[in-house]
A = this chain, B = another copy of it.
Amino acid sequence: MGRLVMKFGGTSVADIARIEAAAEKVVAEIARGHQVAVVVSAMAGVTNSLIGYCRDVSPLHDAREYDAVVSSGENVTSGLMALALQKRGVQARSWQGWQVPIKCTDMHGKARIVTIDATAMAERLDSGEVAVLAGFQGVTSRNRITTLGRGGSDTTAVALAAALGADRCDIYTDVSGVFTTDPRIVPQARKLDRISYEEMLEMASLGAKVLQTRSVEMAMKQNVPVQVLSSMEDPIGSTFPGTLVTKEEDILEQEIVNGITYSKDEAKITLRGVPDVPGVAARIFGPLADAAINVDMIVQNISDDRKTTDITFTVTATDLHRALEALRKCEDLKDTKIIADEDVVKVSIVGIGMRSHAGVASTMFRALSEKGINIEVISTSEIKISVLLLKEYTELAVRTLHIAYGLEKKAEIA
């Protein structure tokens, strides 16, 4: 008995049959005595076609109008889900972002949730009604509709769970949980039963697409246990059939490395012959920050003549064009050679246990070197090590590291 938020992504509500199947899962949780709030995405493909319309009309569109258009897909699904629940004898109603209301910043297209006043919804839950909230959307202080960016429904779900004081937020998707790595590359990839917020955060931002990074940040901050599970499988039988993302303290056995991720949306920029004077880095990276371009890995080398320096860093491939434009306008770089390379991949290992174990990095470097894979850039944090490689080594590197850290083992025992 408790409150549960259940979120269904686009593939889990792709058509009427899938919406009906999702409704059955809600009914099952009600039968277990839970109060349920459901968060839905748009039916798979709908958001993309709405985005297509906006682009067709105007490539440089007003983000406020883009939001008004693109948010409508979730409105449709929330109404249909409410109907599917009613058909099953469940009291239910749909909620749109403005009806709750979910107040957001006015950064249209990628707004952040400021507050959710869930009082009215909570009353309805207490009266036995299921709330079905349109994900991905909210309103600004001026009552304009805004969206939270791609994958924003995960964030809606976690924020709603926090606002409602829910016991758990279940994210239904098309995979059965969080895996040690991409099973399409490594068939031996193992589903994790539990993973800490910190690890999930690294994995999400490093390219594991199962949860939106911001939703994990919010879950960690608000201390909402999140379960990732498949809407295609029958959840009955096990308490947590998916992967539970939770506090570090709730995970008894901490692995040194829990996951291998890769991201192909990377581009490397090398600045050769940058004047080696104080403050030059700020003058280079300032314009990139102004253009809202995130710089990820950074390496600086002193060059042979000791008067100039070489700087290498990465941005997402999507931002590359804009990054180069910003750099070419930079007064300090007028004598600098700017080299861009999109033929790279970032491969990372993630694990909380890394903090208390030595030799984790050397295992990585040795394993890659034994396969003849050259590392171009390295960056590390407390619980992850990332390396930049030539793109063609992606699969080989991921498989090699999965074996090197023995990630398939547990599955063999079970």
Whole-angstrom distance between the alpha carbons of A57 and B64 in the complex? Answer: 32
* Chain-B contact segment, one of A77-85, A316-324, A330-338: A77-85
Q: Which of B57, B64, B96 contacts A80 (CB 8 A)?
A: B57
**Do B54 and A80 touch (CB < 8 A)?**
yes
Please name all residues of chain B whose beta carbon is closer than 8 Å to the beta carbon of A87 when the two chains form the complex: 57-58
- Chain A 258-270: CB-based contact to B (< 8 A → 1; otherwise 0): 0000000000000
Q: Which of B69, B79, B99, B143 contacts A76 (CB 8 A)?
A: B69
A75 at the interface (CB under 8 A from B): yes
A393 CB to nearest B CB, Å = 43
A145 at the interface (CB under 8 A from B): yes
Whole-angstrom distance between the alpha carbons of A75 and B97 in the complex? Answer: 14
A249 at the interface (CB under 8 A from B): no
**Do A94 and B65 touch (CB < 8 A)?**
yes
Which residues of A25-61 have CB atoms within 8 Å of chain B's CB atoms?
50, 53-54, 56-58, 61
Whole-angstrom distance between the alpha carbons of A373 and B57 in the complex? Answer: 54
A98 at the interface (CB under 8 A from B): yes
Whole-angstrom distance between the alpha carbons of A407 and B76 in the complex? Answer: 47
Q: Which of B16, B68, B99 contacts A57 (CB 8 A)?
A: B16
- Chain A 78-117: CB-based contact to B (< 8 A → 1; otherwise 0): 1110111011000001101011000000000000000000
A21 CB to nearest B CB, Å = 12
Q: Which of B16, B65, B86, B144 contacts A83 (CB 8 A)?
A: B65
Return 27 A-B CB contacts under 8 Å, by A number. A16-B53, A19-B57, A50-B76, A53-B80, A54-B79, A54-B83, A57-B80, A57-B87, A58-B83, A58-B87, A62-B83, A64-B93, A65-B80, A65-B82, A65-B86, A65-B93, A65-B94, A66-B79, A68-B78, A68-B79, A68-B82, A68-B94, A69-B79, A69-B83, A71-B75, A72-B75, A99-B143
A residues sitting closer than 8 Å to B (CB atoms) are 16, 19-20, 50, 53-54, 56-58, 61-62, 64-69, 71-73, 75-76, 78-80, 82-84, 86-87, 93-94, 96, 98-99, 143-145
